[in-house]
Amino acid sequence: MSEPVALDLSTRSAGARGKPPRHFADLSPDERAAAVTDLGQPAFRARQLATHYYGHLTTDADEMTDLPAASRQALVEALLPPLLTQSKRLTADRGTTVKTLWHLFDGARVESVLMRYPHRSTLCVSSQAGCGLACAFCATGRLGLTRNLSTAEIVDQVRAAGRMLADGDLPGGPTRLSNVVFMGMGEPLANYARVMAAVRTLVAPVPDGFGLSARNVTVSTVGLAPAIDKLADEGIPVTLAVSLHAPDDELRGELVPVNTRWSVAQVLDSARRYFERTGRRVSIEYALMRDVNDQAWRADLLGELLNARGRGWVHANPIPLNPVPGSRWTASEPSVEAEFVARLRAHGIPTTVRDTRGSEIDGACGQLAGQEDE
């Protein structure tokens, strides 16, 4: 790689072109109380605002009827400014998959994809506008990195989706958001501090957060090994997904350029440590590409590498490659996919082929490119 990887384990500012407006979801409890008193309001209004935002999922002053009419508007304007402006919404799967394209304050664009299933609802959130990791088969990777999202820009994707579900906007009646996966645009562990602050907010009980269960939050990474180790020390047992895509460094280096920095072995060792620290079984993501990474011997090698690090700590999630315009790669033949899965299972690796929702609206894994007109 010619450019250094944008691996951010610290607290750099959100972007070169200034920061998004101050938002409640970016502030600590003390900062919230101070912001409210600065507006001439009693500090307890911060908790009322939190209940509206995280509990009722609203930023609409008119709905905040427990606040004095005179102060609602001022509080909302100062602390809940709009961060995401909906620019387009596409639906698929009979309305149960919804992709939203958002414009951010500086014109950057990101997408989130909401998927309703019979017994859960999952939001796929973006953590960066674009992505700097340049995986060859991923539409977002072709864009390059525009900037990191702020914590509130991530959190507000979740609030907006929760509100859609609560309002019954998806078929099946009103429901709650149960799962969040960091599988939208960007590499979450390259925007570490802000993603972790967002994760803490997702799992904090209402009114401090959305009250999701940590196991229902999945952080998917291209394999930034030191950041996986850091995540293991956070004490929040989120589900970790590792985008492996090849068991050998030669091929993985082609598909996932950051592999030249952290090899297959280093990534798998970190993933194994993650399991030890958290007790959470790790997912290995593997996009099956015809005649590229779908050979039976690669399934065997993957099974051996996983078993070499113990039993019962990992499961495999192959997914047929979703088409990306201009890419030379296509999905594996179904029979080849079936053989790949059978080989992994023969090694004792629990394996589930991931379902690919929303591919016809370019809302599936690896297809998010923030296009205005498709």
Binding residues for ligand SAH, rule: CB under 6 A, are 137-138, 183, 187, 220-222, 243, 285, 287, 319, 321-322, 324, 365-366
Q: Which residue's entry shows tokens 């809302």? A: 363
Q: Give Cα 261 distance to the centre of its chain.
A: 22
Q: How far is the CB of 184 from ligand SAH (least distance, A)?
A: 7
Q: Give Cα 96 distance to the centre of its chain.
A: 19
- Residue 135 falls in the annotated catalytic set: no
Of 183 and 344, CB closest to ligand SAH: 183
Of 138 and 264, CB closest to ligand SAH: 138
Q: Which two tokens stand for residue 283?
A: 């997912």
Q: How far is the CB of 148 from ligand SAH (least distance, A)?
A: 13
Task: Say if residue 211 is exposed, middle or buried (CB neighbours under 10 Å; 0-12, 13-18, 19+).
Answer: middle
Of 322 and 332, CB closest to ligand SAH: 322
**Distance separating alpha carbons of residues 206 and 356, to the nearest angstrom:** 32
Of the candidates 63, 365, 372, 374, the residue annotated as catalytic is 365
Q: Helix, strand or coil for residue 362?
A: coil
Of 46 and 133, CB closest to ligand SAH: 133
Of the candidates 111, 153, 187, 285, the residue annotated as catalytic is 111
CA angle 106, 112, 118 (to 5 degrees): 160
Q: How far is the CB of 102 from ligand SAH (least distance, A)?
A: 17
Q: How far is the CB of 32 from ligand SAH (least distance, A)?
A: 30
- Residue 365 falls in the annotated catalytic set: yes
Of 33 and 154, CB closest to ligand SAH: 154
Q: How many CA atoms lie within 13 A of 92 on its CB side?
A: 14
**Distance separating alpha carbons of residues 93 and 97, to the nearest angstrom:** 6
Q: How far is the CB of 351 from ligand SAH (least distance, A)?
A: 15
Closest listed residue to residue 192, CA positions, set 155, 221, 158: 221
Taking CB atoms, the residue at the shortest distance from ligand SAH is 366
Point out the residues that are catalytic.
Answer: 111, 365
